[in-house]
Structure 1
Amino acid sequence: MTNLKNGRSVIVRINDRGPYTKGHILDMSQAAARQIQMDGIAPVAIEVLK
């Protein structure tokens, strides 16, 4: 995931069926959000790696 506001990125593993909030595509762990300096909700780019 790449934070579109600052260009910082992190590799995450999707392992949950969430999100449980309407309008969200997915929820991140707090640790991953800190790594890309994401505070709350932010626009991100998602790239699928295999």
Structure 2
Amino acid sequence: MMSNERQEQVTTTEARAGVTPHMTRYVLGISLALVVVLFAIIYAIAAT
């Protein structure tokens, strides 16, 4: 059975009760850079 009431519509921000910080992109970028540097060091040590 269908109700005659209208459903309340909320925005995405209201639905998740706040804003999300943009820290993820920095964490991923720094982690990727560290992995590349680490592999370069390991390669340099193994090549000698």
Shared fold, TM over 0.5: no
Higher relative strand content: 1
Greater helix fraction, Structure 1 or Structure 2: 2
Shorter-chain TM-score: which interval?
A: under 0.3
Larger radius of gyration: 2
